[in-house]
Amino acid sequence: MQSIIDRGAVLVTGASSGMGRSCALRLVRGGYRVFAAVRKERDAESIREEGISGLQPVILDVTDVSSISRAAQVVGQAMGETGLAGLVNNAGIAVTGPVELVPLDEFRRQFEVNLFGQVAVTQAFLPLIRTARGRIVNVGSVGAKFALPFASPLNASKAAFELTSDALRMELRPWGIHVALICPGSIKSGAEKKLEDDSEKTLETYTAGGLELYGSSYRSFVLGMLRLEARGVGPEVMAEAVFHAISARMPKLRYPVGPKSRLLPFLFGSLPMAAADTFRLRLFGVR
């Protein structure tokens, strides 16, 4: 393991659990000093109590400009003229439901976290990245390549983030700042129970008419998602891809990760649209 001084420092957002936590721990094992960005003080305290050398929690809410600014000041003061070797934009949420019934505020919240929040963090930390000629790793989704029924907020936000990431990569090329996109497929992130609980809470908000229209199909979609997640790879596989993107001499531009992360985009992009629709509906048991 190289020393932290040799490797430099990396900020990882959404590091309280799941994929973000795995990425933070992998980077620490690889010799980096990691600023683990979390929203809640109790998550920060949990990290401190573990006493892992090189892992430092930072309070950062990607939807709060003041929180982002404070976090940038903390990291900037800690790193001085060294800057940041890497930024991993991992924070994200998943809003699901039929387009007809998703509250507009929830649709907007999906984009606030998955797109605008990532842009705000990137803008705030880019001066530190430029100082170190560091790298940016954006965590997208295989779902950016195709729509799924009842996942339009999530799919749309990830598609927008992927295009933004592509533009950023070209814009930062003059400074030698590499931008990589991680495209996870099915990852067992530990969020399966949350998806199930959130879906039931979503159903509770529907009127009797809404439940009659979509209740059965939406439950089938959620069960299909849970089946895919259960067959997925562990978050450590994605963490390994992130580590490669940050540390490799010749990092890739894209990192498909997990089962079907290459197959499904190819199939849905190759099949006639009507056939692709039918296949997706059957895959999730939606009729």
* Model pTM score: 0.93
Position 190 pLDDT exceeds 70? no
Compute CA distances 85 → 44, 61, 212, 286, whole Å: 22, 21, 52, 45
Quote the percentage of the chain above a pLDDT of 90.
77
Domain ranges of the chain: 4-190+234-261
Asked which of 70-84, 155-169, 181-195 is least confident by mean pLDDT, the reply is 181-195
pLDDT at 227: 85
Distance of CA 12 to the CA centre of its chain: 10
Nearest to 138 by CA among 178, 83, 195: 178
User: What is the four-CA torsion angle of 44, 118, 267, 192, rounded to 10 degrees?
Assistant: 30
Q: φ, ψ for residue 62 (rounded to 5)?
A: -65, -15
Q: What is the pLDDT of residues 3-47, one digit of tens each?
A: 444 689 999 999 998 899 999 999 999 999 999 999 999 999 999
Q: Domain spanning 4-190+234-261: which CATH class is it, in words?
A: alpha beta
